[in-house]
Structure 1
Amino acid sequence: MVERATLQRVAPFLAYLFFIFLADMLGRLGHALHELRWLYALKIGVVLGLLLYWRRSYTELASFALGARAIAVALMTGTVVFLLWICLDTDWMSIGKADGFDPRNDGRIEWSLVLLRIAGAALVVPVMEELFWRSFLLRWLDAADFLARAPRLASARAFVVSVLLFGIEHNLWLAGMVAGAAYTVLYMRSGSLWSPILAHGVTNGVLGLWIISGGHWNYW
């Protein structure tokens, strides 16, 4: 039972990482970034397919038990994380250089790609990542039977390790750690995974709008 629950929360995340690895390998083999833009649609499609296939097994998502205050806090947290994200971007705060995602073709924005990118980042990625980082890893670091572990009981060790790893997963590692800490606190205090999912979705959604408005393609 525990092994199956683990698979259901880890597999979508690993599928997402696989496509990142695949894009990197194809790039190293000489494929231009422009040729690989279709991979994002495939990546999000596969992740969404896995989430939908196992949707009935995600007991932590069965009920949206957030009151008005909790929703407001999540929305505010997501917005603050966005503001910090675009500020914490100096050289020493980043790992390598992100290729980004430029949706323009001959100088014109392909809006189908933009809408897909924003929808994937704001609606699919937050669910996938919060299921892995918060619901699974944060609790699993303290107890193999992680589903029986209340979020508020997460140890300092689990908090630090999960936040550090979440940060390193991102090119902007410091911004990633700040985001990871904020989402984790929301989860621990509310006891509902919907709280960090909502905040995460706001961060990614507002970031997408900001990227489009100013052409900050490297943030994608």
Structure 2
Amino acid sequence: MDSESTTPTLRKLVAFTLPMAVFLTLLGLAGVVRKPGAGPWLESPEYWIYPAQTLICGALVIWFRREYELRAPRKVWFAIVVGTVVFVVWIAPQQFLGFAPRLTGFDPDVFSGRPAVYWGTVALRFARLVVVVPLVEEIFWRGFLLRYLINERFTTIATGTFSWVSFALVTFGFGFAHSRADWIPALICGALYNLVAYRTRSLASCVVAHALTNLLLGLWIMQTRQWGFW
């Protein structure tokens, strides 16, 4: 096979990595610009950075949509089971094991006196949680890195191809990319989402599992008001 035909184009590489890079950059920006007592824009920058992440990263995924192998998901039942199990694992310390509730975080109630702003904030937060995050993260972790660690010409590697090295590195990378409080559930989560890729060989199924986890988590957060899970 012609080596040029099997080498990913620059556009393909950018499509799989840029949304995640922008997402992490904006996330890091929140810590850089945060200045207690400096007014709402700098004291709580997540209230504008998170919507910016949603809009910018969502736009990037739409722009590069033709580069992704997001065909109809396969074995959706398996993705649903895994997505639900991951949700239970994620909330288990607080819900079942008696850990202290995580009450501090992105609290939309700061806008409770302005209903339009409140519901707009909640809608954008769910759009980020349920749509943008699953797409951006699964495109990068399972769509790109899980294959790239097998062969740098990752487009020649089928989604769900197994290797111990890529499994371990993606699991640990995914896990430790989360906040310290979430490391253990995130490591389990990373391994289970990898399993979805291996079982279904479908990037879309990985997105479905991740989106379901996050939808259930978001609803649980709104019910329990444990904003630290956002």
Aligned partner of 2:28 in structure 1 is 21
TM-score, with structure 2 as normaliser: 0.84
* Residue 114 (str. 1) matches residue 122 (str. 2): yes
* Residue 47 (str. 1) matches residue 57 (str. 2): yes
Letter in 2 for 1:15: V
Letter in 2 for 1:193: L
5+ long unaligned stretches in structure 2 = 1-6, 95-101
Which stretches of structure 1, 4 residues or longer, exceed 6 Å deviation after superposition? none
TM-score, with structure 1 as normaliser: 0.87
Aligned pair partner of 1:157 in 154, 162, 165 = 165
Query: What aligned pairs does 1:56-75 form with structure 2 within 5 A after superposition?
Result: 56-58=66-68, 60-61=69-70, 63-66=71-74, 70-75=75-80
Q: Note the alpha carbon deviations across 1:154-207, whole angstroms, 9 max, x for none.
A: 210110010001000111011111111111111111111111100100011110
Query: What aligned pairs does 1:135-146 form with structure 2 within 5 A after superposition?
Result: 135-146=143-154
Identity rate, percent: 33
Displacement of 1:208 after TM fit? 0.4
> Judging changes above 3 Å, is the alpha-carbon distance between structure 1 residues 126 and 106 closer, same or farther for their aligned structure 2 residues?
closer
Letter in 2 for 1:56: R
Q: Number of matched residues?
A: 208
For the pair shown, which has the larger CA radius of gyration, 1 or 2?
Answer: 2
> Judging changes above 3 Å, is the alpha-carbon distance between structure 1 residues 106 and 6 closer, same or farther for their aligned structure 2 residues?
closer
> Judging changes above 3 Å, is the alpha-carbon distance between structure 1 residues 50 and 87 closer, same or farther for their aligned structure 2 residues?
same
Aligned pair partner of 1:5 in 4, 12, 15 = 12
CA distance in 2 between partners of 1:153 and 1:98 (Å):
40
Aligned pair partner of 2:208 in 198, 207, 217 = 198
5+ long unaligned stretches in structure 1 = 90-96
Letter in 1 for 2:171: V
- The answer (yes or no) to whether the contact 2:126–2:215 under 8 Å persists in 1 is yes
SS of corresponding position for 2:34 = helix
